[in-house]
Chains A and B, each alone.
Chain A
């Protein structure tokens, strides 16, 4: 009897380990494929040049337009999200809103975070149509802001919520107002978490394609004004992989590698930076 049960135990443990190995090996496979395919195609010209004539037939040029465009889009959206999101994260705290209101808004934000980015893209498109604006960097940034704002607010909200009450009480006892305490004590204590949230949001923003498909457009030129269309890395990959010309497909691989490197660096960077900043605060 016990033998059979021990055997069952071992069988399921084996299944678990195999499952986990499967998941991890898929990750490794993705990283490997992109590196192996992308590395040979990645060179200085790819990074520094914009598409030249005949680029889409395999001639000279690079994807500098997409790199710069993506950095602008994700950077702009992250900045806007931070400006709007930090006050929102504070507004969710019990000093500023009732438990119920905060609870409902948290729920709404979680649901918004789950809304597909293609829906945000469609909504952005509707608004731009209504205003008579064509696909532009501004449109892309605003739509992307909608995509990453809920995530950023909730991430910041969680770290701000973790600030111990005792710490705030010390500040109140010293005569500071709620807002002064928020700025001087809470913000400083939560800063590592907030930095992590911001960097991760940037990572999410730069990888998103569906939201900017309608709203940011695409162009072979470097962005000059926020009202002009702008290229982006995800869309560069998407468009170039669809062509039948091998040289152009090569560039999709290179763009994918570049995007992956950015995302990896962002992911690792947020962790390292978060930990480094966390040294200065008490836990």
Chain B
């Protein structure tokens, strides 16, 4: 008994163990391509890069702070009503994000329309609260929240970049495809701007991701 209670060496805030919480969600347990969480918004806001970047930041902020809050409250929340408590925390944070966006980035907030509100039901947040924050200390929870937000944001930005590049020939609204190419007969692919293209892009990203990282392949 006494052996197990030996005082552990104090860990630094960014020790290897903690860093894993931050970095794992970006590759091995990426929320979108592996955990299949938060797909809805990932697909809907990726027609252009700008809303995608804003969305990624918003979701990262909400996951990080809701993870932190729930982790601080985890010992006081009665098990049966935990869902309601989680939803109240998340929606208060989302109201904050929404008001900030409306105040400082009104155009983007109009483009995102209902999808800012839908951050509340973004499964990444609930999923991480249930799976991680309810059973871990505040600091790892905060890191896990940031990590998952970044993993989500990474996929979002890749998809948005590809869709904007091939769909409208621009990156951040700056034309990048040279005029000469258009004169040769190159045409923007209008399908990339339509909803199904987002699904195909994510499907292909998952394909490549699993091909590079074979331990993720579905056995079934």
Partners in one complex: no
